[in-house]
Amino acid sequence: MNDDTDVRHATTLTRRDSLLGLGGIAAAALGAGGVLAALDGDDAEAASSGPAAVASGLVTCVLTPEMTEGPYYLDGDKLRRDIREGRPGTRLDLATTVVDVSTCKPIKGAAVDIWHCDAGGTYSGFAQEGTDGDTFMRGIQRTTKTGLATFVTVYPGWYSGRTVHIHVQVSLGGNVLHTGQLFFPEQLTDAVYRRAPYNRRPSRDTRNATDSIFRNGGSKSMLKLAKTKTGYAARITMGISRS
């Protein structure tokens, strides 16, 4: 399996021109006591914006580091919230908030594109992976007026040479504003991997501390996670430069 350090040529900056607006989605926001809770509609938007959100740390003005796109990007991901397509794994509810790093204001209508391997360490859409034509663990959502985009996926698996991660790209008006990767706390990953289907592949060979990409700013792209009834909820605020 290829390492993400084998970077492909950058794709055109206008590849999101055709994205249309989305319907309503269930949102994730920071609940009482610092627990990430699933909310809907106005409640979610209120919880993820304003002074309270800044005070809680949900909204920050820290520039999120740029990282390699990697070799597994595919253009034309589906506009959808649930990207699992029936693949096994521990449920992960991911909430991403996009803010303008120069003003700390949320960016509305940005296209947040995520992709990652499944619980077995396999990416969809590539012949060498045996998944040509598949689209699991790939999807796009547009941010709400509070900069929020949410996804339902599974806790990613691992593959040789890389620590556990999710790829993310943020576009606005057809221009790519940010390309990065999201990372997981090691102790939590160890706990998740002790259960099926992850425990069928023990002894992952790369951890955060030894991952060449994580070492270049990965600590600033760490997800904050909380246990839920169905799995885990993860959140991150990404400070993006619009210029």
Contact 5, 60 (CB under 8 A): no
Residue 64, classed as helix, strand or coil, is coil
- Residue 178's nearest CA partner among 94, 116, 225, 243 is 243
Digitized pLDDT (tens) for each residue of the chain, 243 residues in all: 444 433 333 333 233 333 333 333 333 333 322 333 444 444 445 445 544 565 566 555 789 999 999 999 999 999 999 999 999 999 999 999 999 999 999 999 999 999 999 999 999 999 999 999 999 999 999 999 999 999 999 999 999 999 999 999 999 999 999 999 999 999 999 999 999 999 999 999 999 999 999 999 999 999 999 999 999 999 999 999 987
Contact 120, 199 (CB under 8 A): no
Query: In CATH, what number does 26-240 get?
Result: 2.60.130.10
Residue 215 gets which letter from DSSP?
A: T
Domain ranges of the chain: 26-240
